[in-house]
Amino acid sequence: MTRSRSALIHIGASDLQMSSIELARQMGFYVVVTDINSDAPGCAIADRFELVSGTDVEAVVALAQEVSIQRPVAGVYAGSDFGVLAAAEAHAALGIPGCDPEIARRALDKSLALRVWREAGVPVAAGATVCNTEELAAAAADLGLPVVVKPVDSSGSRGVVRVDTESELVSGLAEAQRFSEQVIVEELLLGRHIDLNGLMVEGRFIRCGIMERFFQPPPMSALSLWGAQPAELSSAQEDDCYAIAEHAAQALGIEQGPVKADLIVTADGPRLLELSPRFHGDVLTSYMTPFAQVGSPIGAYFAGLLSEQWSSVDCDTSVKAHAGWRALFASEAGTLARVEGEAEALAISGVYKLSIRVDLGSMIRIPRDNRDICGFVWVVGPSRDEVRARLEEAAGAITFVVD
């Protein structure tokens, strides 16, 4: 009797998730995708689609249990915070090695995670958790302005605000509290922003790549603008970043599965901003890293799930090229009438992918956070400077025309 292909349940089926879905198919998985949009493009290339939200933990667990009756389930993959808890609970329900659900909850609660890291000696920003204007004002006075105010359980820069003056404290708190009642206020760290991927395998930390991210200037400094790989760090700085990420993951109790860390390399060394039990998003991990380094973090993780030979899992971070991504924004608010310049952007040397994230007829806002990004472009080139120049040329070719 032919053994059934092992299933991988992939949470999300958007165009940015096509790469990891295709990779899973190529590696031999029977791929079950979930999404809240039945027209999501990843549905068409999967073996099976289920209309399930990644935030619906019970539904994802029930799906994993139902699939396991017909074939072995190797794992549940979540590429964003929204599906992390569902993946952890499904792994626990089926006895698949992965991040413990309680540890996943701890990691997703930024306030609790920071408390764990401070107690463990992980270098993080000075800060406090507050609930009202009086507490925020007191914390800001202790830390000294400017400060960063952010929700305890948000992602994608939602609700993250830089506060430069006392007069901005009330509005900064109001924006952060749109996403959570409790709010974190931290000192503003200056330095290089580093995005780092790792993989915990039976308590062993595997390096999976270091990238660099750049932001819009104030007052939109929480808005991601572009990124590049490899990061311009010394070997010693890379070692320090990886060591902090490993320490932070171990302090939380993460022993198995992907981890992603955000750090700032300051003049006094790297400081951790946050760490989650997943890889960085598809913009970086699926569409930049494979062009910049030899090994794929997602491929390494999938290989472990498929073979269950975790001791042999590794990720080659050797550099093979310079690659980068650039966010695309509309210059004015309104109803999107058309997008101009796509062919011109794709014709630029080194451009290998363009993704428009907004539909015609949709309402476009003046950018406030990463939800307002209208698209992305990716470029490969011989140097960081050349990548940056090509990214800006491609971004300049695209126009979002609104009514």
What domains lie within the chain, and their CATH numbers?
7-96 (3.40.50.20), 126-187 (3.30.1490.20), 190-320 (3.30.470.20), 323-402 (3.30.470.20)
- Confidence label for 366 from pLDDT (cuts 50, 70 and 90): confident
Would you state the structure tokens that stand for residue 54, as one six-digit string? 């990644």
Q: Which residues of 164-186 are buried (b: 16+ CB within 10 A; e: fewer)?
A: eeeebbeebbebbbebbeebbbb
- Confidence label for 156 from pLDDT (cuts 50, 70 and 90): low
* CA–CA separation, 145 and 141 (whole Å): 7
217: Cβ–Cβ under 8 A, 6 or more apart, which residues? none
Average pLDDT over residues 212-218: 87
Average pLDDT over residues 168-173: 90
Q: What is the share, in percent, of the chain residues with pLDDT greater than 70?
A: 97
Least Cα distance to 322 among 260, 391, 263, 243 occurs for 391
Beta bridge partner(s), residue 199: 206, 258
57: exposed, middle or buried (Cβ count in 10 Å: 0-12, 13-18, 19+): middle
- Confidence label for 152 from pLDDT (cuts 50, 70 and 90): confident
pLDDT of residue 1: 37
For residue 124, give the DSSP letter: B
Residue 202 φ/ψ region, left for φ over 0, alpha for ψ in the -120 to 50 degree band, beta for the rest = left
Would you state the structure tokens that stand for residue 316, as one six-digit string? 């080659």
3-state secondary structure of 228: strand
pTM of the model: 0.93
Average pLDDT over residues 88-96: 98
The runs of H, that is alpha helices, within 109-168 are: 110-120, 133-143
Average pLDDT over residues 172-185: 90
Report the interhelical angle of 133-143 vs 169-176 (nearest 10°). 120
Q: What is the pLDDT of residues 24-49, one digit of tens each?
A: 999 999 999 999 999 999 999 999 99
